[in-house]
Protein backbone atom coordinates (compact mmCIF):
# COMPACT_ATOMS: atom_id res chain seq x y z
CA UNK A 1 0.00 0.00 0.00
CA UNK A 2 1.32 3.42 -0.95
CA UNK A 3 1.22 5.92 1.94
CA UNK A 4 0.68 9.58 1.17
CA UNK A 5 1.49 11.65 4.24
CA UNK A 6 -0.52 14.85 4.42
CA UNK A 7 1.57 17.47 6.25
CA UNK A 8 -1.00 20.31 6.21
CA UNK A 9 -1.50 20.07 9.96
CA UNK A 10 2.07 21.12 10.63
CA UNK A 11 1.22 24.35 8.81
CA UNK A 12 -2.01 24.62 10.85
CA UNK A 13 0.11 24.72 14.01
CA UNK A 14 2.51 27.23 12.50
CA UNK A 15 -0.29 29.53 11.30
CA UNK A 16 -1.82 29.49 14.81
CA UNK A 17 1.17 31.61 15.90
CA UNK A 18 2.24 33.06 12.54
CA UNK A 19 5.87 32.18 13.15
CA UNK A 20 8.07 29.80 11.18
CA UNK A 21 7.73 27.05 13.76
CA UNK A 22 7.11 24.20 13.19
CA UNK A 23 8.87 24.41 9.84
CA UNK A 24 6.94 22.60 7.09
CA UNK A 25 10.19 21.64 5.36
CA UNK A 26 11.31 19.76 8.48
CA UNK A 27 8.02 17.85 8.32
CA UNK A 28 8.68 17.13 4.65
CA UNK A 29 12.17 15.75 5.36
CA UNK A 30 11.01 13.62 8.32
CA UNK A 31 8.16 12.13 6.28
CA UNK A 32 10.49 11.49 3.32
CA UNK A 33 13.06 9.77 5.52
CA UNK A 34 10.65 7.57 7.45
CA UNK A 35 8.71 5.55 4.93
CA UNK A 36 6.21 7.90 3.32
CA UNK A 37 5.72 7.08 -0.35
CA UNK A 38 4.24 10.44 -1.28
CA UNK A 39 3.71 13.88 0.21
CA UNK A 40 0.19 15.29 0.11
CA UNK A 41 -0.65 18.94 0.63
CA UNK A 42 -3.78 21.01 0.09
CA UNK A 43 -3.37 24.57 -1.18
CA UNK A 44 -6.68 25.96 0.02
CA UNK A 45 -8.29 29.08 -1.43
CA UNK A 46 -8.36 30.63 2.06
CA UNK A 47 -4.66 29.67 2.65
CA UNK A 48 -5.53 28.61 6.17
CA UNK A 49 -2.49 26.32 6.38
CA UNK A 50 -0.30 25.70 3.32
CA UNK A 51 0.85 28.98 1.73
CA UNK A 52 1.99 29.45 -1.88
CA UNK A 53 5.62 29.65 -0.74
CA UNK A 54 5.23 26.32 1.12
CA UNK A 55 3.93 24.65 -2.02
CA UNK A 56 6.84 25.98 -4.10
CA UNK A 57 9.39 24.98 -1.44
CA UNK A 58 7.90 21.50 -1.09
CA UNK A 59 7.95 21.01 -4.88
CA UNK A 60 11.58 22.11 -4.92
CA UNK A 61 12.84 20.01 -2.01
CA UNK A 62 10.68 16.88 -1.88
CA UNK A 63 12.47 13.65 -2.64
CA UNK A 64 9.05 12.00 -3.04
CA UNK A 65 6.19 12.61 -5.47
CA UNK A 66 3.89 15.43 -4.41
CA UNK A 67 0.12 15.00 -4.58
CA UNK A 68 -1.32 18.50 -4.58
CA UNK A 69 -4.96 18.81 -3.51
CA UNK A 70 -6.79 21.81 -4.86
CA UNK A 71 -10.22 23.17 -5.75
CA UNK A 72 -11.41 23.96 -9.26
CA UNK A 73 -11.00 27.70 -8.66
CA UNK A 74 -9.22 29.23 -11.71
CA UNK A 75 -6.64 31.20 -9.70
CA UNK A 76 -5.68 28.10 -7.76
CA UNK A 77 -5.49 26.01 -10.95
CA UNK A 78 -3.12 28.58 -12.46
CA UNK A 79 -0.79 28.15 -9.49
CA UNK A 80 -1.05 24.36 -9.78
CA UNK A 81 -0.09 24.41 -13.46
CA UNK A 82 2.91 26.53 -12.53
CA UNK A 83 3.87 24.20 -9.66
CA UNK A 84 3.53 21.07 -11.86
CA UNK A 85 3.03 18.54 -9.04
CA UNK A 86 3.29 14.81 -9.74
CA UNK A 87 -0.50 14.68 -9.43
CA UNK A 88 -3.34 17.08 -8.71
CA UNK A 89 -6.28 15.86 -6.65
CA UNK A 90 -9.38 17.97 -7.20
CA UNK A 91 -11.39 18.44 -4.01
CA UNK A 92 -14.48 20.46 -3.08
CA UNK A 93 -13.93 23.47 -0.85
CA UNK A 94 -16.19 25.52 1.36
CA UNK A 95 -14.88 28.48 3.32
CA UNK A 96 -16.89 27.63 6.44
CA UNK A 97 -15.86 23.97 6.67
CA UNK A 98 -13.36 22.73 9.27
CA UNK A 99 -12.00 20.22 6.76
CA UNK A 100 -13.06 18.76 3.39
CA UNK A 101 -16.56 17.55 4.20
CA UNK A 102 -17.62 15.47 1.24
CA UNK A 103 -16.54 14.38 -2.19
CA UNK A 104 -16.68 16.50 -5.35
CA UNK A 105 -20.14 16.82 -6.86
CA UNK A 106 -19.01 15.46 -10.22
CA UNK A 107 -22.51 15.66 -11.70
CA UNK A 108 -23.33 19.26 -10.72
CA UNK A 109 -19.87 20.61 -11.58
CA UNK A 110 -19.27 18.44 -14.66
CA UNK A 111 -18.28 21.38 -16.90
CA UNK A 112 -15.99 23.05 -14.37
CA UNK A 113 -14.26 19.77 -13.51
CA UNK A 114 -13.91 18.88 -17.17
CA UNK A 115 -12.26 22.27 -17.81
CA UNK A 116 -9.90 21.75 -14.85
CA UNK A 117 -8.89 18.25 -15.99
CA UNK A 118 -8.20 19.44 -19.54
CA UNK A 119 -6.12 22.34 -18.27
CA UNK A 120 -4.09 20.09 -15.95
CA UNK A 121 -3.60 17.54 -18.73
CA UNK A 122 -2.29 20.32 -20.98
CA UNK A 123 0.49 20.68 -18.41
CA UNK A 124 0.98 16.86 -18.23
CA UNK A 125 -0.35 16.70 -14.67
CA UNK A 126 -2.30 13.48 -13.92
CA UNK A 127 -5.59 14.08 -12.11
CA UNK A 128 -7.34 12.33 -9.26
CA UNK A 129 -10.88 13.25 -8.20
CA UNK A 130 -11.82 13.14 -4.50
CA UNK A 131 -15.31 11.64 -4.65
CA UNK A 132 -17.89 10.03 -2.44
CA UNK A 133 -17.80 6.24 -2.75
CA UNK A 134 -20.67 5.80 -5.21
CA UNK A 135 -20.78 3.98 -8.54
CA UNK A 136 -22.23 7.09 -10.24
CA UNK A 137 -19.36 9.28 -9.07
CA UNK A 138 -16.81 6.69 -10.19
CA UNK A 139 -18.45 6.39 -13.62
CA UNK A 140 -18.54 10.15 -14.04
CA UNK A 141 -14.87 10.47 -13.01
CA UNK A 142 -13.93 8.08 -15.80
CA UNK A 143 -16.09 9.95 -18.29
CA UNK A 144 -14.45 13.24 -17.27
CA UNK A 145 -11.01 11.80 -18.07
CA UNK A 146 -9.44 11.48 -14.60
CA UNK A 147 -6.68 8.91 -14.17
CA UNK A 148 -7.54 8.19 -10.56
CA UNK A 149 -10.18 8.56 -7.87
CA UNK A 150 -9.67 9.08 -4.17
CA UNK A 151 -12.63 7.69 -2.26
CA UNK A 152 -13.78 9.90 0.61
CA UNK A 153 -13.66 7.81 3.79
CA UNK A 154 -15.04 10.52 6.10
CA UNK A 155 -18.46 8.92 6.58
CA UNK A 156 -16.87 5.55 7.34
CA UNK A 157 -14.41 7.19 9.79
CA UNK A 158 -17.18 9.10 11.58
CA UNK A 159 -19.34 6.00 12.05
CA UNK A 160 -16.30 3.99 13.15
CA UNK A 161 -15.38 6.62 15.76
CA UNK A 162 -18.96 6.85 17.09
CA UNK A 163 -19.09 3.07 17.42
CA UNK A 164 -15.57 2.21 18.59
CA UNK A 165 -14.18 5.26 20.43
CA UNK A 166 -15.23 7.71 23.14
CA UNK A 167 -16.33 10.28 20.55
CA UNK A 168 -20.04 9.77 21.30
CA UNK A 169 -19.39 10.76 24.95
CA UNK A 170 -17.45 13.90 24.05
CA UNK A 171 -18.25 17.46 22.99
CA UNK A 172 -17.51 16.41 19.42
CA UNK A 173 -20.15 13.70 19.33
CA UNK A 174 -21.75 13.66 15.85
CA UNK A 175 -25.45 14.46 16.28
CA UNK A 176 -26.80 12.58 13.28
CA UNK A 177 -24.88 9.50 14.36
CA UNK A 178 -26.20 9.40 17.93
CA UNK A 179 -27.84 6.02 17.33
CA UNK A 180 -28.12 2.66 19.09
CA UNK A 181 -24.95 0.59 18.68
CA UNK A 182 -26.58 -2.05 16.50
CA UNK A 183 -27.71 0.67 14.07
CA UNK A 184 -24.20 2.13 13.98
CA UNK A 185 -22.82 -1.36 13.30
CA UNK A 186 -25.17 -1.75 10.32
CA UNK A 187 -24.21 1.71 9.03
CA UNK A 188 -20.53 0.87 9.37
CA UNK A 189 -20.94 -2.31 7.33
CA UNK A 190 -22.84 -0.34 4.69
CA UNK A 191 -20.14 2.35 4.50
CA UNK A 192 -17.44 -0.32 4.05
CA UNK A 193 -19.57 -2.07 1.40
CA UNK A 194 -20.00 1.25 -0.46
CA UNK A 195 -16.25 1.93 -0.46
CA UNK A 196 -15.52 -1.66 -1.56
CA UNK A 197 -18.05 -1.52 -4.42
CA UNK A 198 -16.80 1.88 -5.60
CA UNK A 199 -13.17 0.72 -5.45
CA UNK A 200 -13.92 -2.47 -7.39
CA UNK A 201 -15.85 -0.60 -10.05
CA UNK A 202 -13.15 2.05 -10.39
CA UNK A 203 -10.45 -0.56 -10.87
CA UNK A 204 -12.62 -2.46 -13.36
CA UNK A 205 -13.02 0.61 -15.58
CA UNK A 206 -9.33 1.42 -15.46
CA UNK A 207 -9.03 4.01 -12.70
CA UNK A 208 -6.39 3.92 -9.99
CA UNK A 209 -7.93 3.96 -6.52
CA UNK A 210 -6.86 5.87 -3.43
CA UNK A 211 -8.78 6.51 -0.21
CA UNK A 212 -8.51 9.11 2.47
CA UNK A 213 -10.00 11.33 5.13
CA UNK A 214 -10.33 10.50 8.81
CA UNK A 215 -8.18 7.37 8.57
CA UNK A 216 -6.26 6.54 11.72
CA UNK A 217 -4.29 3.84 13.52
CA UNK A 218 -7.52 2.04 14.52
CA UNK A 219 -9.81 2.19 11.52
CA UNK A 220 -7.27 1.86 8.69
CA UNK A 221 -7.25 -1.97 8.84
CA UNK A 222 -10.70 -1.96 7.23
CA UNK A 223 -9.30 -0.15 4.19
CA UNK A 224 -6.34 -2.55 4.03
CA UNK A 225 -8.79 -5.38 3.29
CA UNK A 226 -9.88 -3.73 0.01
CA UNK A 227 -7.28 -4.89 -2.49
CA UNK A 228 -8.36 -2.42 -5.20
CA UNK A 229 -7.26 0.50 -2.99
CA UNK A 230 -3.56 1.01 -3.64
CA UNK A 231 -2.97 4.35 -1.91
CA UNK A 232 -4.01 6.01 1.34
CA UNK A 233 -3.62 9.71 2.10
CA UNK A 234 -3.45 10.31 5.83
CA UNK A 235 -2.77 13.51 7.75
CA UNK A 236 -4.49 14.43 10.99
CA UNK A 237 -3.97 11.14 12.84
CA UNK A 238 -0.25 11.03 11.99
CA UNK A 239 0.39 14.60 13.13
CA UNK A 240 -1.78 14.05 16.25
CA UNK A 241 0.19 10.90 17.09
CA UNK A 242 3.48 12.72 16.59
CA UNK A 243 2.62 15.15 19.40
CA UNK A 244 2.67 12.28 21.87
CA UNK A 245 5.53 10.33 20.38
CA UNK A 246 7.57 13.55 20.62
CA UNK A 247 6.23 15.47 23.63
CA UNK A 248 8.29 13.63 26.28
CA UNK A 249 11.52 14.39 24.43
CA UNK A 250 10.49 18.01 23.85
CA UNK A 251 9.81 18.61 27.56
CA UNK A 252 13.08 16.92 28.57
CA UNK A 253 15.00 19.04 26.07
CA UNK A 254 13.47 22.30 27.36
CA UNK A 255 14.23 21.22 30.95
CA UNK A 256 17.81 20.56 29.90
CA UNK A 257 18.31 23.95 28.22
CA UNK A 258 16.71 25.80 31.14
CA UNK A 259 18.65 23.91 33.84
CA UNK A 260 20.86 25.98 36.16
- Residues in touch with ligand PXP (CB under 6 A): 6, 8, 42, 69, 89, 91, 99-100, 130, 150, 212-215, 233-237
For residues 6 and 196, which CB has a smaller minimum distance to ligand PXP in the complex?
6
- Catalytic hit among 9, 69, 208, 231: 69
- How far apart are CB 52 and ligand PXP at their closest, in Å? 17
Instruction: Print the SS3 string covering the chain.
Output: CEEEEECHHHHHHHHHHCCCCCCHHHHHHHHHHCCCCEEEEECCCCCCCCCHHHHHHHHHHCCCCEEEEECCCHHHHHHHHHHCCCEEEECCCCCCCCCCCCCCCCCCCHHHHHHHHHHHHHCCCCEEEEECCCHHHHHHHHHHCCCEEEEECHHHHHHHHHHHCHHHHCCCCCHHHCCCHHHHHHHHHHHHHHHHHHHHHHHHCCCEEEEECCCCCCCHHHHHCCCCCCEEEECHHHHHHHHHHHHHHHHHHHHHHCCC
- Catalytic hit among 49, 93, 213, 228: 213
For residues 47 and 252, which CB has a smaller minimum distance to ligand PXP in the complex?
47
- Catalytic hit among 9, 42, 49, 201: 42
For residues 3 and 186, which CB has a smaller minimum distance to ligand PXP in the complex?
3
For residues 69 and 228, which CB has a smaller minimum distance to ligand PXP in the complex?
69
Contact 5, 36 (CB under 8 A): yes
- How far apart are CB 251 and ligand PXP at their closest, in Å? 26
Question: Is residue 110 annotated as part of the catalytic site, yes or no?
Answer: no
For residues 183 and 230, which CB has a smaller minimum distance to ligand PXP in the complex?
230
Question: Is residue 164 annotated as part of the catalytic site, yes or no?
Answer: no
- How far apart are CB 257 and ligand PXP at their closest, in Å? 32
Question: Is residue 213 annotated as part of the catalytic site, yes or no?
Answer: yes
- How far apart are CB 107 and ligand PXP at their closest, in Å? 19
- How far apart are CB 128 and ligand PXP at their closest, in Å? 8
The residues carrying an active-site annotation are: 42, 69, 213
Amino acid sequence: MKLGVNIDHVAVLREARRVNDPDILNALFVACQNGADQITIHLREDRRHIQDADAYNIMKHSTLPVNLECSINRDILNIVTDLKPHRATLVPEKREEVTTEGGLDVIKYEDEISYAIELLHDYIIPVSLFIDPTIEAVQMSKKLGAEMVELHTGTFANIYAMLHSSLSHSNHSIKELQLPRHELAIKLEKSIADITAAAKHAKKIGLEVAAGHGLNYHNVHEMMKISEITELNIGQSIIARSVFSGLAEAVKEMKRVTAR
